[in-house]
Structure 1
């Protein structure tokens, strides 16, 4: 049985991805800041598949020490982590000139730092084993910056570049790395905004893509996948 670690797993895309891997008979390690949300989601996942193990850690993924504690706990309890999904992220609608004090570091620590630190934590073990798959949830803003969300765009572009460096470092060791690049996706970022869900990407679409990419043959890798609304960006 394979083991997957997923950040940002109790909401949005991360939640849908965790459910999809549970249905694929994959053990899961997930973290969240809210203990009640985490406990409720663990129960839901085990009801979906009673045969899997679900490891939960109350942690803020944007805090390096708490993130690494989560990684250590997942490794101790599950063993080798075959799959990492870096789904934690935050969208801030603010131009760079209007950013609040300390917003830069907050967004960097949420959108970029976790992927970097988890790669450093698990990467050498993946090299020694010669197996694994890392998914980084980027954004279409990495390719087409949004001036109304400047620092978000910058961090997602940096994450896409980090993803490419990871892939180039790992490809000779048989470890796969994939950038998932969603367009307008119906997550909590749209909370309070009236939108037509039939004109947006759904979290389940992202989860389906990741599962299908993961299940490809050992010799195939999807470097990046762009998933946008059929009617264009919202």
Structure 2
């Protein structure tokens, strides 16, 4: 059976752990040559080692996406060099979540979160899209969040950045779709890292009570959605945000 992404290349930001790691492993498992990127060399090397051990192609490129155009362009250039001169699939996954409320958020934190979560993917996309268009097509997958559309008491800053990314998804689909680049997004729900201590309740678990799934999700569910959006199976899908959240945002939650 042919692999769905055979011969394609992919850059996944923030892919040294959790959701990004699962996406990198899933894309590589379908034949893509992936660039794993992030700030932690050791964790990046571990992801690359796992992918290669399973027969996939992967390389690590260290990146600290601080929101400056220079940092995004540097990653775009390095990844392009590693991936045989082209990036077919870009996954804008890297993001930070400060545990602060609106009254406790200072200007430095505000600028840092918007820099990492919005400015960095904006300028990375800006750097890579022209080559995708020149090559005849490409795929961009953004990561949103369920709290971009369902308010929670803590997380206004983070949720606003994810709302921005979902809006950019639709705007970029309109801008780049007619030129061969498909743009879509994935909106994860409560996802628990496999590294989380199973003996300790995850603080987000209570938010899944009463949902159709009734539990938190695993990062691999996001990886599977990314494979679909990156592959030709979704060739007619543009500007869509796929909710992978156990029904948290789409179904009325009954208190139990």
CA distance in 1, matches of 2:195, 2:30: 28
Match of 1:213 among 224, 229, 235: 229
Shift of 1:191: 7.5
Structure 1: gaps of 5 or more residues: none
Task: Determine the structure 2 residue equivalent to 1:194.
Answer: 201
Task: Determine the structure 2 residue equivalent to 1:70.
Answer: 75
Q: Tell me if structure 2 keeps the 8 A contact 1:25–1:49.
A: no
CA distance in 2, matches of 1:123, 1:115: 12
Task: Determine the structure 1 residue equivalent to 2:28.
Answer: 22
- Normalised by the length of structure 1, the TM-score is 0.89
- Two-structure CA RMSD over aligned residues (Å): 2.5
Q: Tell me if structure 2 keeps the 8 A contact 1:11–1:188.
A: no
Q: Is 1:137 equivalent to 2:137 in the alignment? A: no
Secondary structure at 1:184's aligned position in 2? coil
Q: Is 1:224 equivalent to 2:241 in the alignment? A: yes
Shift of 1:185: 1.3
Secondary structure at 1:148's aligned position in 2? coil
Shift of 1:188: 8.4
Shift of 1:166: 0.8
Q: Tell me if structure 2 keeps the 8 A contact 1:127–1:173.
A: yes
Secondary structure at 1:96's aligned position in 2? coil
- 1:163-174 counterparts in 2 under 5 A? 163-174=169-180
CA distance in 1, matches of 2:62, 2:233: 35
CA distance in 2, matches of 1:26, 1:189: 25
How many aligned positions are there? 231
Shift of 1:189: 11
Shift of 1:101: 4.3
Shift of 1:173: 1.1
CA distance in 2, matches of 1:200, 1:123: 34
Match of 2:157 among 118, 131, 151: 151
Match of 2:64 among 60, 65, 68: 60
Secondary structure at 2:103's aligned position in 1? helix
Structure 1 residues 63 and 161 mapped into 2: Cα distance closer, same or farther (>3 Å)? closer
Rg comparison, structure with higher value:
2
- Normalised by the length of structure 2, the TM-score is 0.82
Q: Deviations over 1:118-177 (max 9, x none)?
A: 110011222222311100001012112333111011111111111111111011112110
